[in-house]
Amino acid sequence: MSEGEGALGERETSREGRRAGAVVAILLAAGSSRRMRGAAAPDREKLWADLDGAPLVARPLAMLASLPAVERVVVVAPAARHADLARLGGATELLVVEGGARRQDSLSSGVAAAPDASWYVVHDAARPLASRSLALRVLDAARRYGAALPGVPAVDTIKEVDGAGRVVRTLPREPLRAAQTPQAFSGELLRRALAAASRPGSSEATDCASLVERIGETVWLVEGEQWNVKVTTAADLSRVRAGVHDRGTVEGGGPGEGSY
């Protein structure tokens, strides 16, 4: 084998290694913002509301793009916003695809755009304050266990009620956690969970991890971030704006630590 052939072989092996462990980030940005109707007109489309001088969606997009292991970012969004998102992506290897009627349908669209990934990091675009270090901790846990998500302890007392509004029981608060994103999964596991969710009669899932739970697999939890707020209402948007203003950056760090 010549020296040139040896170098070529090493480069090909390196590429294969990257593909074998390829990480794809999926940003879910196809929500309807229906609970933002009471907000001021510029804020009614929450992902495009101003946050520190840029559209809100720019912040989680930049966070995912900053992850060292991520080879591609797939954004799932309405067709009317594809060109805007492509401009926000800049030099990032970005693929924008259209979402579906339900969360798992949008997730399926994102996975279909990168069907051979070894790992997926899935994040809700309505959580603009999630830090890069959180995403890295979740991905590390998924690489060890197959599936992981962040969560924070429940702070309110949770009541279970029946259809008439009567309290059935009070749930013990100690084991309860409020789930957050980003969530991370092995590619094989998430694709298998989505295949099961596509069967007729499958109910809607409110987060990606629950799809994995439904097929009997274990999801591991890592400590989340109290400031990782999901923007659902105008009050949430005000809280996030205040958090950006007060903190300056999500963790007080440099680029990649929320300073987007």
Look at residue 161 and tell me if it is in a domain. no
Strands 54-55 and 167-170: unpaired
Residue type at position 238: S
| 73: its two tokens | 């970012």
Of residues 43 and 86, more confidence is placed in 86
pLDDT above 70 coverage of the chain, percent: 81
Give this prediction's pTM. Answer: 0.84
Q: Is 152 exposed, middle or buried (0-12, 13-18, 19+ CB in 10 A)?
A: middle
Q: At what angle do helices 58-65 and 132-145 cross, to 10 degrees?
A: 50
Is 256 a member of any domain? no
Quote the CA–CA distance of 36 and 234 in Å, as a whole number. Answer: 6
Q: Is the pLDDT of residue 257 over 60?
A: no
pLDDT in tens, 213-245: 999 999 999 999 999 999 999 999 999 999 887
Is residue 40 over pLDDT 60? no
pLDDT at 253: 35
Residue of 170, 160, 180 whose CA lies nearest to 223: 180
Structural domains of the chain, count: 1
Tokens of 247: 């903190």
Range of the domain at 187: 19-151+179-247
What average pLDDT is seen over the chain?
85
* pLDDT level of residue 32 (50, 70, 90 thresholds): low
pLDDT the model gives residue 206? 87
Position 43 in a domain: yes
Is residue 4 in a domain? no
pLDDT score of 34: 54
Range name among 64-73, 84-93, 145-154, 190-199 with the lowest pLDDT average: 84-93
The CATH number for 95's domain is 3.90.550.10
Predicted confidence band at 33 (pLDDT cuts at 50, 70, 90)?
Answer: low
13 falls within a domain: no
Q: Which residues contact 159 (CB under 8 A, 6 or more apart)?
A: 167, 168, 169, 170, 171
What confidence tens digit (pLDDT) does each residue in 84-130 have?
Answer: 999 998 767 899 999 998 999 999 999 999 999 999 999 999 999 99
What's the pLDDT at 201? 80
Q: CA-CA distance, 244 to 257, in Å (whole number)?
A: 12
Note whether residue 97 is domain-resident. Answer: yes
Considering the domain boundaries, does residue 168 fall inside one? no
Is residue 247 pLDDT above 60, yes or no? yes
Alpha carbon of residue 23 to chain centroid: 13
* Residue 79 in domain: yes
